[in-house]
């Protein structure tokens, strides 16, 4: 399931090339990864995706970067290399410019994500869903999804006896425990007892 972060003082773009100065910022931007450094000598960047499935990064034609300020940049080429996405961005022509972008968050409009099968979900769509067990007890809300390698894990946060401090429980995001996901109703039903 896809329930779907230098040495140069440059801003990472040669003469502002690649920036679309008149593009309106989409209201559905989602963080999908971050630039982890330069790749090679010709201005390519390495991007570490936030999800095991980098489909959104690989299929987008434009990325939104938050450095130096939020702006869009056109992609020239993009591919997978050793578990990371590597890309050539318009206007980023050398290693120094690529290194200057290290740490930059990459965002893509949610509307540009690849379409998923009925039993697949982007992680961002699960955050905030109410979690209820088969007995109808509310367990909390999905606060985060953790990728442990074998399968994703839901971190469900809840208040105990009205305390301000939140407690949490971890639930594997696998069919054995997760019985249904109702995105319209903003609810996730699990086979999980309150006292696990």
pLDDT above 70: residue 15 = no
pTM: 0.66
Q: Is the pLDDT of residue 96 over 60?
A: yes
pLDDT above 90 coverage of the chain, percent: 52
- Rounded to an integer, the average pLDDT of 64-77 is 92
CATH class of 127-190: mainly beta
Backbone angles phi, psi at 84, to 5 degrees: -120, 155
Is 80 exceeded by the pLDDT of residue 3?
no
What mean pLDDT comes out for the span 123-150? 89
pLDDT for 53 equals 75
Task: Answer for the pair 81, 39: CB distance below 8 angstroms, yes or no.
Answer: yes
The pLDDT value recorded for residue 165 is 63
The ranges assigned to domains in the chain are 14-112, 127-190
Topology annotation, domain 14-112? Elongation Factor Tu (Ef-tu); domain 3 (2.40.30)
165 or 118, higher pLDDT: 118
* Contact call for residues 167 and 160 (beta carbons, < 8 A): yes
């Amino acid at each position: 399931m896809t329930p779907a972060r230098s040495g140069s003082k440059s801003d990472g773009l040669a003469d502002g090339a690649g920036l679309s100065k008149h593009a309106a910022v989409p209201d559905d931007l989602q963080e999908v990864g971050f630039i982890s450094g330069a790749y090679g000598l010709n201005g390519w960047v390495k991007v570490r995706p936030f999800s095991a499935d980098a489909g959104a990064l690989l299929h987008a034609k434009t990325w939104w970067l938050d450095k130096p300020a939020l702006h869009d940049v056109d992609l020239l080429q993009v591919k997978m290399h050793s578990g990371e996405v590597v890309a050539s961005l318009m206007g980023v022509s050398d290693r120094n410019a690529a290194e200057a972008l290290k740490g930059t968050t990459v965002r893509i409009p949610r509307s540009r994500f690849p379409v998923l099968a009925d039993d697949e979900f982007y992680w961002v769509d699960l955050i905030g869903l109410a979690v209820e067990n088969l007995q109808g007890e509310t367990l909390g809300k999905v606060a985060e999804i953790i990728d442990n390698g074998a399968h994703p894990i839901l971190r469900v946060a809840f208040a105990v006896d009205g305390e301000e401090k939140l407690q949490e429980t971890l639930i594997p995001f696998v069919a054995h425990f997760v019985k249904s996901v109702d995105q319209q109703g903003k609810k996730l039903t699990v086979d999980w007892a309150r006292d696990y």
